[in-house]
Homo-oligomer: A and B are copies of this chain.
Amino acid sequence: MICRITRDKIDTPALLEAVKHPEAGAVLAFEGIARNNSLGRRVLYLVYDAYPEMAEKKLRQIGEEIAAKWGITRLAMVHRIGRLEISEASLVIALASAHRADGFAACRYALERIKAILPVWKKEVWENGEEWIEGKDFAPFDQEAALKR
Q: Which A residues are closer than 8 A to B by beta carbons?
A: 12-13, 16, 20-33, 35-37, 86-87, 89, 96, 100, 103-104, 107-108, 111
Contacts and interface: CB of A to CB of B under 8 A. Distances in A.
The A contact surface, by secondary structure, is mixed
A13 B20 CA distance: 14
A20 B87 contact: yes
A96 B20 CA distance: 22
15 contacts: A12-B16, A20-B33, A20-B87, A22-B36, A22-B87, A23-B36, A25-B35, A26-B31, A26-B32, A27-B30, A27-B31, A28-B29, A29-B31, A30-B103, A100-B111
Nearest to A90: B25
A86 B86 CA distance: 36
Nearest to A86: B22
A110 to B, nearest CB: 11
Among the interface residues A29, A89, A111, which one has the most CB atoms of the partner chain B within 10 A?
A29
Nearest to A14: B13
A33 B27 contact: yes
Contacts of A27: 29-31, 33, 89
A149 to B, nearest CB: 24
A33 B100 contact: no
Contacts of A100: 30, 32, 111
